[in-house]
Chains A and B, each alone.
Chain A
Amino acid sequence: MRRSRPLFRVAASLFLIGVIAASLFAFPQKPAEAALAAPAESTCVTTCRNVPPTAQAAAQELLNNYNHGTFIVEWAERAIIPNEIQPIANGTISGSPQCNIDTRTLQTLVIIIRNYGSLQTSDLNRHCANDTVATCQSNPTSRHCVPSTGPSAMDITYIGGARTRGNDAASGILLSFLDSFLPSGSRAGQASGGSGCGTYAMPSLRNISRFTDSCTHIHIDLGSTTSPLRNLTTG
């Protein structure tokens, strides 16, 4: 029996090394934060300075971001640029008012891109760009379709290279940041228990309520509030 002990020690050591190695791979240090562009603010201070004051100015900055690859639109909704952002930037949106977007939403997109380096969206105003599945015919009360003066909803699938599904670390980081400047009464999708979301913990928010949605993206809208974004300096 004594002869087999060294063999056992070797086997035990190998398992111990395996356990340590597995734990190192299993718990990477703050993965979403590592993927996000640095430096990113957790509360909107510097990023909220000199925000474009008008829809046209914000759309022009988004168009510039689009041309530099930091504002990305998913293929199915690619009409967002020619049908929505471009006319707002050009000042010709009055010709197609159903394609307008809430000024605060455009400002929010600008702020997110400034803070994280890039943003990918999959839905803004559904009247003028949609994937033919989720349309204003299928759900007229969606905040991608109302109000008629310019919907406020935005679906975000990446920030700074980190995927946002609504139930992940990057979504939590984004929501905390948004909570520092969105008006009270704003809403976000993907409350725990929603389709495909599972049960998970998210940061507590003061100005944003949550509703259930599918965990393929993070949905943000401004609810029924008409208040401006908070803590901004425009310029």
Chain B
Amino acid sequence: MSQARRAALILIGAVAAMTLAGCTPQAQSAASSHSSRPSSSATHRPTPTHTSDRPTTSPAPSASTPPDPPSGTGSDPAAAKALAVKACQAIAGGFAAASVAQARPLAQEAAQRDPIWIPLADDLAYIEKNPIDPNTGEGPQKTIDDSATAAHDCFHLAGVQVSQD
């Protein structure tokens, strides 16, 4: 066997070992070392669970910063999507009244340029007119359902994650 073949074999072995070893941290992180029955004083490490409530965009390619839409109306799917992305980014942290007020006109303009955004515009219009009271949770069931639909559309059509948490 030539020196070159030996070197190649050694190199392949090393790469294989490093690749396999590279899986270890992820696999171990799935399995916590914590006791299955923790004592009352053994509270687990606090974990932030609400990062989605901060405005974030999903890693979907369509969520990249959109160009400023041109003025005027008419069929223009690209401009419509840019407007819809902005609308979804406005409500990324949730359906607070101020956020919905900001998002609704953008979605409405997007709907005028491309009918695919009509459901989003309609949902946001309903939510704006029929808000949930943030102090008591009182409000129409349709508002809650529409917010879930709007969040779904934002993620799947505009690539923007909107908090439902």
A87 at the interface (CB under 8 A from B): no
Chain B interface main SS type: loop
State the CA gap A108–B125 with chains docked (Å).
35
Are A134 and B165 interface neighbours, CB within 8 A? yes
The interface residues of chain B lying within 8 Å CB-to-CB of A189 are 164-165
Given contacts A19-B16, A31-B30, contact A122 B49 (CB under 8 A): yes
- B107-122 CB contacts (< 8 Å) to partner A: none
Q: Count A/B pairs, Cβ under 8 Å.
A: 245
The interface residues of chain A lying within 8 Å CB-to-CB of B96 are 137-140
Interface residues on B, range: 35 or more
Cross-interface CB contact of A15 among B17, B133, B161, cutoff 8 Å: B17
Given contacts A32-B30, A146-B139, contact A216 B134 (CB under 8 A): no
Binary CB contact string for chain B from 34 to 59 against chain A (1 if under 8 A, 0 otherwise)? 11111111111011111111101011
Q: Which residue of B lies closest to A75 (CB)?
A: B46
Are B134 and A137 interface neighbours, CB within 8 A? yes
Cross-interface CB contact of A216 among B13, B35, B48, B127, cutoff 8 Å: B48
Number of interface residues, chain A, beta carbon within 8 A: 79
- A1-42 CB contacts (< 8 Å) to partner B: 5, 8, 11-12, 15-16, 18-19, 22-23, 25-28, 31-32, 34-37
State the CA gap A147–B141 with chains docked (Å).
8
- B86-109 CB contacts (< 8 Å) to partner A: 93-97
Residues of chain B whose beta carbon lies under 8 Å from any beta carbon of chain A: 1, 6, 9-10, 13-14, 16-18, 20-24, 27-44, 46-54, 56, 58-60, 93-97, 127, 131-139, 141, 143-145, 147-148, 151-152, 155, 161, 163-165
